Amino acid sequence: MTRLRRRARQQPLAALAAGVLLAILLAALLAPWLAPAPPDAIDLAAQLAPPSPAHPLGGDFYGRDLLSRILYGGRVTLLVATAAVTLAMVVGALVGLLAGYAQGWLGQVWVGLIDLLLAFPALLLALLVVALMGPGLTALAVAVGVASIPGYARLVRSLVLTLRSAPFVEAAVALGGAAPHILARHLLPAVVSPLLALATLDFGRAIISAAALGFLGLGAAPPTAEWGLMLYEGRGYLATAPWASAFPGLAITLTVLAVTILGDALTGPPPAVNRGRE
Amino acid sequence: MHPPAPAPFTAFLRRRLLTGALTLWAVVTLIFALVHLLPGDPAETMLARAGAAPAAVAALRAELGLDRPLPAQYVTWLTNLLRGDLGISLFNGRPVAALIREQAAHTFALAGVAFAWALLVGLGLGLAAGSRPGSLRDRLASALAVTGVAVPVFWSGLLLIWLFSVRLGWLPSGGADGWRNLVLPSFVLGCASAGPVARLTRVSLIEIFDQPYILAARARGVPARRLLLNHVARNAVAPVLTVAGLQLGFLLGGAVVTETLFNRPGLGKLLVDAILWRDLPLVQGVALVVALTYVLVNLAVDLAAGWLDPRAGWQ
């Protein structure tokens, strides 16, 4: 606990970001208790209504309470992003371990596959997956996740390449350890912490991608409350009810900003400081 | 261990062109594979919403040639591609290639101008931050860059539409009739990729300022402005160019969102519509064109970076 406190004092901005993120996660988690109304409850008097005591963030076109929808919407957006990052991290780490550990042409094949995925713009890859899997939240999570697999694979592969000749790995090989054992017991634990740091940064990208697909009408389906979809629904009323799109966008931006600042702090001091000494 | 002697540029060129060609082929194959090897029948997926009769699905399968063996389909796909034939759109029955040709110019104009914004804003911020690391200027510029990464295009775009189109009425919020329609979308899209450019520029500058040859130049009394231009900037060009190339891919992807947001015609809008209509040949065609453009741009960027800075890519 004291270590955490010391770190917070050293990096006040990151501590603030962590606090904001925690608050957002809690708000989404506790939405059923915090929200003034169910996300799909319609109050005709609140149609495109400006923020007021009854509806703190105003109402949308159908008269649904925006604050409630943002609280509930966070659950969908954050859940999809979490699922996507987990998928990408697990698959990416696996591919990276294999690509880094396999000798000869097999390693090259894996590297080729990673490079091939990188040859696609991330959002294009996500759109392709949605096009082929059809709508739905599972497809959304897979689509968002697939695009960041190569990033993890590259990171893990480069770590494994340098670790393979480390004394503790060579010792394990000399003792007759089989490849799966060495991968799981010796290499995997060594790559976990940089992997998690990358995942933090990636979480921000996943939130934006998930919301972007929602905004395109290819993510969560109405009447689900989802941040990207809410922006899409609100954008038609920019002149009369700017709050209907402003607040969901603010929620996305705030979350991603907190995640990015936290991720930056976790990935260590800015690379310039490290690289300059190599 | 000695580093191998630098290979001549022609050898680098030949190798990079070869890998580029391989990547192009792989992209073409992957798009084919995605459509045909993924679980689920494309014909059924396309007709799913209608709850189509088996006969209708079979008819569509025959029409698309999906009932033929895979290798035969693959050969047809490749030979048609070489002739510039991307198939027929299911939705409106027109050749996919023609539909793409009509829309491509809008997207390339958008991405091109956005790229210029990204370089202008990104290099400006990066330069402001990296030339005085640790200063207030650095912290402000870096904070702006992080914010640029975090703000989604579809939100910053809406805010700008609200300000400049709805409130002030200075610029149109959509359409594609002239340069006025291009200002807002290209700026929004460009700023979104200015963040990474700024961050990399900053890091490169800081790194280069640390190098012995900069100290040597300083000791010789090279004036600050010349030092920045001749010694620092020239060395920072290659990494910045590489990241900028990656950003072009982001721009092509981001164009999808931007075009929808600003109601602009273009490849992105075409792709989204194609997905909504479940028009598989059109999806395939647009995805292919976007991916191939991305590969070609990155190839060009790599070659340019290698030419500008022999240390960058020749190993």
Beta bridge partners of residue A65, listed in sequence order = A59
List the single residue in B with minimal CA-CA distance to A208: B152
Using CB atoms, which residue from A128, A211, A270 is nearest to B34? A128
CA nearest neighbour of B256 among A39, A82, A223, A213: A213
Burial of B222 (0-12, 13-18, 19+ CB in 10 A): middle
For residue B60, being part of any structural domain is answered with yes
- pLDDT (0 to 100) of residue B18: 84
Same domain, B23 and B130: no
List the single range of A133-142, A239-248, A263-272, B59-68 with lowest mean pLDDT.
A263-272
For residue B76, being part of any structural domain is answered with no
Distances in Å between the Cα of B280 and the Cα atoms of A141, B155, B302 are 21, 30, 33
Same domain, B56 and B116: no
Residue B211's Cα: distance from chain center in Å? 32
For residue B256, being part of any structural domain is answered with yes
Same domain, B51 and B149: no
Structure token pair of residue B273: 């519509």
* Amino acid at residue number A248: P
Domain end position, chosen among B69, B89, B117? B69
Mean of pLDDT values over A250-268? 85
- Phi/psi class of residue B208: alpha, beta or left (left: φ > 0; alpha: ψ in -120 to 50)? alpha
Structure token pair of residue A155: 């990171």
Q: What is the CATH number of the domain that holds B293?
A: 1.10.3720.10
Same domain, B222 and B298: yes
Is A123 within 8 Å of B256 when comparing Cβ atoms? yes
Q: pLDDT by residue (tens digit) across B2-44?
A: 555 555 677 778 887 888 888 888 888 888 887 776 655 667 6
CB A67 within 8 Å of CB A35: yes
CA nearest neighbour of B294 among B260, B231, B242, B252: B252
CA distance A134 to A137: 10
CA distance A30 to A10: 31
Same domain, B211 and B259: yes
For residue B267, being part of any structural domain is answered with yes
Same domain, B173 and B267: yes
Structure token pair of residue B234: 């020239």
Average pLDDT of every residue of chain B: 80
Residues on chain B touching A134 (C-beta within 8 angstroms) = 40, 45, 48
> Does A68 lie at the interface with B, CB-CB under 8 angstroms?
no
Is B275 within 8 Å of A130 when comparing Cβ atoms? yes
> Does A236 lie at the interface with B, CB-CB under 8 angstroms?
no
The answer on pLDDT for B315 being more than 70 is no
More confident residue, A90 or B151: A90
For residue B142, being part of any structural domain is answered with yes
Mean of pLDDT values over A37-57? 74
Beta bridge partners of residue A100, listed in sequence order = none
For residue B248, being part of any structural domain is answered with yes
Residue B224 lies in domain? 101-313
The answer on pLDDT for A275 being more than 50 is no
Q: Nearest-CA distance from A222 to chain B in Å?
A: 15
Domain end position, chosen among B19, B47, B69? B69
Confidence check on the interface: ipTM exceeds 0.85, yes or no = no
The answer on pLDDT for A52 being more than 80 is no
Distances in Å between the Cα of A68 and the Cα atoms of A20, A21, A56, A230, B19 are 19, 18, 9, 12, 52
Q: Nearest-CA distance from B151 to chain A in Å?
A: 5
> Does A133 lie at the interface with B, CB-CB under 8 angstroms?
yes
Would you give the DSSP letter of residue B51? Answer: T
Q: pLDDT by residue (tens digit) across A163-182?
A: 877 788 778 777 877 777 77
CA nearest neighbour of A36 among A46, A22, A23, A24: A46
Which of B18, B35, B158 to mutate to test binding with chain A, by most A CBs within 10 Å of its CB?
B158
- pLDDT (0 to 100) of residue A33: 85
Question: What is the rounded (10 degree) CA torsion for B219, B224, B225, B230?
Answer: 30
The answer on pLDDT for A218 being more than 90 is no
Same domain, B105 and B61: no
Domain end position, chosen among B28, B51, B69? B69
Same domain, B173 and B230: yes
- Phi/psi class of residue A86: alpha, beta or left (left: φ > 0; alpha: ψ in -120 to 50)? alpha
B161-195: string of b/e by CB count within 10 Å (b at 16+)?
Answer: bbebbeeeeebbbeebeeeebbbbbbbbbbbbbbb
Q: pLDDT by residue (tens digit) across B89-138?
A: 877 778 888 889 888 888 888 888 998 898 899 888 888 888 777 788 88
- pLDDT (0 to 100) of residue A49: 73
Using CB atoms, which residue from A115, A218, A260 is nearest to B150? A260
Count of domains forming chain B: 2
For residue B96, being part of any structural domain is answered with no
> Does A267 lie at the interface with B, CB-CB under 8 angstroms?
no
Burial of B315 (0-12, 13-18, 19+ CB in 10 A): exposed
Q: Nearest-CA distance from B223 to chain A in Å?
A: 23
Q: pLDDT by residue (tens digit) across B258-301?
A: 888 888 888 988 988 888 887 888 888 888 888 888 888 888 87
For residue B1, being part of any structural domain is answered with no
CB atoms within 10 A of CB A16: 14
Mean of pLDDT values over A186-203? 83
- CB under 8 Å to B156, separation ≥6 — which residues? B188, B191, B192
What is the interface size between A and B, counted as CB pairs within 8 Å? 147
Same domain, B125 and B42: no
CA distance B191 to B122: 8
Is A133 within 8 Å of B40 when comparing Cβ atoms? yes
CA distance A130 to B275: 8
Q: pLDDT band at A90, cuts 50/70/90?
A: very high
More confident residue, A19 or A269: A19
The answer on pLDDT for B50 being more than 60 is no
Q: B153-160 and A227-234 helices cross at what angle (nearest 10)?
A: 20
Distances in Å between the Cα of B294 and the Cα atoms of A36, B102, B204, B248 are 47, 19, 24, 7
Same domain, B137 and B246: yes
Same domain, B282 and B184: yes
Burial of B1 (0-12, 13-18, 19+ CB in 10 A): exposed
**Structural domains of chain A sorted by starting position, each given as residue range(s) with its CATH number in brackets:** 25-267 (1.10.3720.10)
- CB under 8 Å to A132, separation ≥6 — which residues? B34, B35, B38, B40, B42, B45
**Which helix (DSSP H) or strand (DSSP E) does residue A193 occupy?**
helix A188-215
The answer on pLDDT for A158 being more than 90 is no
Burial of B3 (0-12, 13-18, 19+ CB in 10 A): exposed
Same domain, B37 and B167: no
- pLDDT (0 to 100) of residue B314: 46
Mean of pLDDT values over A35-49? 74
The dihedral built from the CA positions of residue A16, A18, A24 and A26, taken in this order, carries a sign that is: negative
Q: Nearest-CA distance from B206 to chain A in Å?
A: 6
CA distance A247 to B262: 19
CB A149 within 8 Å of CB B294: no
> Does A184 lie at the interface with B, CB-CB under 8 angstroms?
no
Using CB atoms, which residue from B23, B254, B261 is nearest to A119? B23
